[in-house]
C-alpha cells in the first residue's frame, strides 16, 4: 500500500495540472471573446469541461481567475524564450534568428499577447511589462553578439532601443495584420539589417 502512495499522488498532481491548464485555456479564450467585464465564470467552466465549483477552487474570484491564467501563460512563455542565445554566425543570421523567435512567439501566443496589448485585464499591464523585460534581455543578447563580432554600425544602446521598438508586440500585431501580412517578418528583418549592421 505504501508503494502505491507516490504513484497515486503523482497521478493526482497530473490530473490537477491538466485541470488547471484547461481552465487557463478557457479563461484566456473567454477573455479574448468577451473581455474582462463580459467574462462569466460559468462560461469558463463550460468551455474547460469542469464543474463551476472546480473553477472556484482554483480561483475564488473572476479577477483571481484572469490574473492566474495570464501569469501562468506568461510564465510558460518566459521559460520557453529566455533560453534563446544568438547563433554563432554573421550579423544577418543573428538578426534573422532574433526576428524568427519573435515571430514564433507572437504566432504561438497571439491570444495572450493581444489580451495584454488591448488592456482591460486586471494586472495585464504588469504581465506585459514582465514579458517586455524578457524580450529586452533577448535583444540585448543579440546586440552584444553583434558588437562582439564587429557587425554593429550604431552604438549598442541605440541598436538595442531601435530593435526594442521594432520588435514590440504591438508592432508585430500591426505588421502581421496589415498589408504586409506574411511578408512582415522578412520586412522587419530587412529593416533591422539595413539599420543596425555595417555594410558588407
pTM: 0.83
Q: What's residue 175's pLDDT?
A: 84
**Residue 4: predicted pLDDT:** 57
- pLDDT classification of 6: cutoffs 50, 70, 90: low
Per-residue pLDDT at 10? 72
Q: How far is CA 27 from CA 118, 125, 128, in A?
A: 16, 17, 17
pLDDT value at position 114? 86
* Residue range 118-161, pLDDT digits in tens: 877 888 889 999 999 999 999 999 999 999 999 999 999 999 99
Which pLDDT score, from 0 to 100, does residue 123 have?
A: 86
What digits encode the pLDDT tens for the residues 50-61? Answer: 999 999 998 999
The pLDDT of 19-46, averaged and rounded, is: 92
Average pLDDT, the chain: 90
**79-114 tens-digit pLDDT:** 999 999 999 999 999 999 999 999 999 888 888 888
- CA 59, CA 50: separation in Å to the nearest integer? 13
pLDDT given at position 2? 52
Domains and CATH numbers, the chain: 4-58 (1.10.10), 75-196 (no CATH)
* C-beta neighbour count of 199 within 10 angstroms: 5
Amino acid at each position: 500500500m505504501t508503494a502505491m502512495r507516490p504513484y497515486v499522488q503523482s497521478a493526482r498532481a497530473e490530473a490537477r495540472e491538466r485541470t488547471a491548464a484547461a481552465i487557463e485555456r478557457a479563461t484566456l479564450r473567454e477573455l479574448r471573446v468577451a473581455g474582462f467585464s463580459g467574462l462569466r465564470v460559468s462560461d469558463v467552466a463550460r468551455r474547460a469541461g469542469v464543474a463551476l465549483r472546480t473553477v472556484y477552487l482554483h480561483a475564488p474570484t473572476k479577477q483571481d481567475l484572469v490574473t492566474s491564467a495570464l501569469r501562468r501563460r506568461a510564465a510558460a512563455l518566459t521559460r520557453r524564450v529566455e533560453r534563446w542565445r544568438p547563433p554563432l554566425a554573421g550579423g544577418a543570421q543573428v538578426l534573422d534568428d532574433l526576428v524568427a523567435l519573435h515571430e514564433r512567439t507572437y504566432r504561438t501566443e497571439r491570444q495572450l499577447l493581444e489580451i495584454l496589448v488591448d488592456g482591460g485585464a486586471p494586472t495585464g499591464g504588469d504581465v506585459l511589462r514582465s514579458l517586455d523585460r524578457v524580450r529586452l534581455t533577448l535583444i540585448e543578447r543579440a546586440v552584444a553578439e553583434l558588437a562582439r563580432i564587429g557587425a554593429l554600425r550604431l552604438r549598442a544602446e541605440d541598436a538595442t532601443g531601435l530593435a526594442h521598438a521594432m520588435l514590440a508586440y504591438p508592432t508585430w500585431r500591426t505588421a502581421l495584420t496589415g498589408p504586409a501580412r506574411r511578408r512582415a517578418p522578412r520586412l522587419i528583418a530587412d529593416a533591422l539589417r539595413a539599420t543596425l549592421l555595417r555594410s558588407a
